[in-house]
Structure 1
Amino acid sequence: MQRSAARRRTRLLGAVCATAAGVALTLSGCGRDTGPTGPGTPTAPVARLGYADDLRIADAEQRLVTRCMAEHGFRFWERRGPSLEESRPVGYVQDDVDWARAHGYGSRIMAKGDRARLRDPNPAYRDSLSASRRSAYDTALDGGRSAPVLSTREPGGGTVRKQSGGCTAEAERALYGDPLTWFRTDTTAGNLRPLYVGKLLHDPEFTRAVRDWSRCMGRAGHPFADPGAARRATRDHAAEQSTAEEARTFAAEVTVAVADARCARAVSLRAVGERREAHYLGRLPADLLRTLARYDRLRRDALTRAEKVVPARA
């Protein structure tokens, strides 16, 4: 899989994985957080970072790229992305009642992110440059067409490639060290769940807790089989809505999300899920667990460096 220059720029300019837009069929919500965060996690010699830490690392990467681009004679606007509260991950299990009451499942946060991407001044600035300056801009940002290509294997098979150069690579190097080591570690850590998530979703203890959640939701007037079905139901509306229609659909989303969170708390769905996730995670091959531990250490080191670059989000 070869990533294009446009895709690399989108990755750099986009929000970090821990945004509410990154809803995934996972327990902890963020696609790059590769395991449970509860006690007893078998592969966590270093404390796992939270979404606020992820956001700070992403902000630091943006700041480093901005500085680097300025040194090359180009403007670059940092993408700050959602606020700290809005960046809270929305996982398969969402049990924060207050957050659900304010944001539902995060549809308005996702829409806000989409609007911010459309207003991003960086593509317009690039397009305003002459052909030669656009080429120089691309080279400065990510190495352009001549950038080195990094390659690694995914845990489940398949090869992933990424061009790595320019200010993007410099920012990653400043935060994570060797870009190839980080790319290989990040790719492996970010693709572990397919190796066990099927087993988790069919685990007797977890499915029993989901059935308890479903019965709770039925009593609340929301007959859904699982949290995924509840969330999908709130998206069943026209893509284009009037202001009044959007307000009604958001109110319905909040109602379901609050009930979801309350029932998840009532049956301890997150605790059960995290415990069973730790069980299956701990049975992955030893080499993958070593890579996961390395991933945690690299991110912890990146946070230490990021703290010298940007302040924490308020």
Structure 2
Amino acid sequence: MPLLKVGTRAGLTALALALLAVTGTVLWALHDNTPPPARQSAPQSGPGAAVLRSRLPFHPLLHAPTATSRRVHEARQRLITRCMTKHGFRYQAPPVDTKASADAGSGPAQFGIDSLAPPDSAARPGTQPAERPRGQAFDRALYGDKQRKFSARNKEISVSRPATGCVADAERRLLGTGGPRRDLTLRLRLDQGERDALSALGEDSAFRRATARWRSCMRQAGFTTAKDPQQLAAALHPDTPLPQQPAARADMTCKHATGYLKRAYARLAVLQQHWLDANPQPAAEWRSLRRQESEAATNVLK
């Protein structure tokens, strides 16, 4: 179920799969002594940003859509539809974006832009939920009493979910009586771990060297104001296509020329794994909940 965020922002795949994919990259990153290029060179071949994101240890926990997660979504919507029918309402479940579900590299870009191509969502019409509010009675049946919610927070965001109504009933059916609250608490704990690893990256010497190479390349291209790709991305014009913005083109050229994204994601993978090693319980409980949810979904869909 999507998070209902109050604040800034708020997969059932075995963590071992991601760790196997990360191992080779991590070992390479620990011995990164590549000198900065004297000038911009031809783009390096190698995995794209989506593949690099898929190798992060947090990816299978929070971002990887799978056949299991689609099955859970289908079961949840079936339960909600049945519940709404009992209340006398016709509920039509929002469609699943199968293209997004098939994207192994889904998840947030961490280092500014990673492509000049527009996102897929901009290239095709947006998919709107088929369900539309039909008055207070419909909303109350679906989401329950507005005054009865449960919340959780981490250091960055606070999130609320309905405690009553058909949506809440479906979550309890899939996760158990106390499961929805625990699910939200764990999700925010893992979200904080992902944020902490990204924050720690600023003190990582190998990452700082990679950023220095990128900055040197950008200076040679005539762009001197941005200290890192995130700052440059924040200054881009959102209404102008990226290929039409010289700063965006230079950014991608320098990322390719210096191997920046490969180095940055490799170092982030190391720090994410450090956090998970130091905090094993949230991930273990999260995977346990996902297994329970999957088993319950299978029973619902029989």
TM-score normalised by the chain length of structure 2: 0.60
Query: Partners in 1 of 2:300 and 2:233 — Cα distance?
Result: 37
Computing the radius of gyration from Cα coordinates, the structure with the larger value is 2
Corresponding residue for residue 69 of structure 1: 84
Contact 1:69 1:75 in 2 (8 A): yes
What is the CA-CA distance between 1:273 and the residue it aligns to? 1.7
Corresponding residue for residue 228 of structure 2: 226
SS at match of 1:268: helix
Q: Which amino acid aligns with 1:64?
A: L
Question: 5 Å matches for 1:261-280?
Answer: 262=256, 263-264=258-259, 267-280=262-275
Corresponding residue for residue 296 of structure 1: 287
What is the CA-CA distance between 1:93 and the residue it aligns to? 4.0
Contact 1:95 1:264 in 2 (8 A): no
Q: Which amino acid aligns with 1:150?
A: F
Residue 95 of structure 2 is aligned with which of 58, 80, 86?
80
CA deviations over 1:168-196 (Å, ceiling 9, x no partner): 11222233333233233233333334545
CA deviations over 1:120-170 (Å, ceiling 9, x no partner): 4534x414xxxxxx32x23321222464x4355x45499865431221112
Contact 1:94 1:261 in 2 (8 A): no
Are the structure 2 counterparts of residues 194 and 95 from structure 1 closer, same or farther at C-alpha, using a change threshold of 3 Å?
Answer: closer
Corresponding residue for residue 19 of structure 1: none
Deviates more, 1:214-223 or 1:59-68: 214-223
SS at match of 1:201: helix
SS at match of 2:227: coil
Query: Partners in 2 of 1:250 and 1:142 — Cα distance?
Result: 40
Residue 126 of structure 1 is aligned with which of 134, 142, 147?
134
Deviates more, 1:167-176 or 1:64-73: 64-73
Corresponding residue for residue 27 of structure 1: none
Are the structure 2 counterparts of residues 237 and 195 from structure 1 closer, same or farther at C-alpha, using a change threshold of 3 Å?
Answer: closer
Question: 5 Å matches for 1:22-171?
Answer: 37-38=18-19, 39=22, 48=61, 51-53=64-66, 56=70, 57-58=72-73, 60-80=75-95, 82=97, 83-84=99-100, 88-93=106-111, 100=115, 102-103=117-118, 106=119, 109=121, 116-117=127-128, 120=129, 122-123=131-132, 125-127=133-135, 134-135=136-137, 137-145=138-146, 147=148, 149-152=149-152, 154-156=153-155, 162-171=161-170
Corresponding residue for residue 243 of structure 2: 251
Structure 1 stretches of 5 or more lacking a match? 1-7, 15-22, 25-30, 128-133, 239-245
CA deviations over 1:256-284 (Å, ceiling 9, x no partner): 6754763556753211221123224434x
Query: Partners in 2 of 1:70 and 1:110 — Cα distance?
Result: 35
Contact 2:215 2:228 in 1 (8 A): yes
Q: Which amino acid aligns with 1:252?
A: Q
* Same amino acid, percent of matched pairs: 22
Structure 2 stretches of 5 or more lacking a match? 27-56
Contact 1:143 1:164 in 2 (8 A): yes
Contact 2:197 2:271 in 1 (8 A): no
SS at match of 2:110: coil
What is the CA-CA distance between 1:290 and the residue it aligns to? 1.0
Contact 1:182 1:298 in 2 (8 A): yes
Query: Partners in 2 of 1:212 and 1:291 — Cα distance?
Result: 36
Query: Partners in 1 of 2:232 and 2:157 — Cα distance?
Result: 33
Are the structure 2 counterparts of residues 59 and 195 from structure 1 closer, same or farther at C-alpha, using a change threshold of 3 Å?
Answer: same
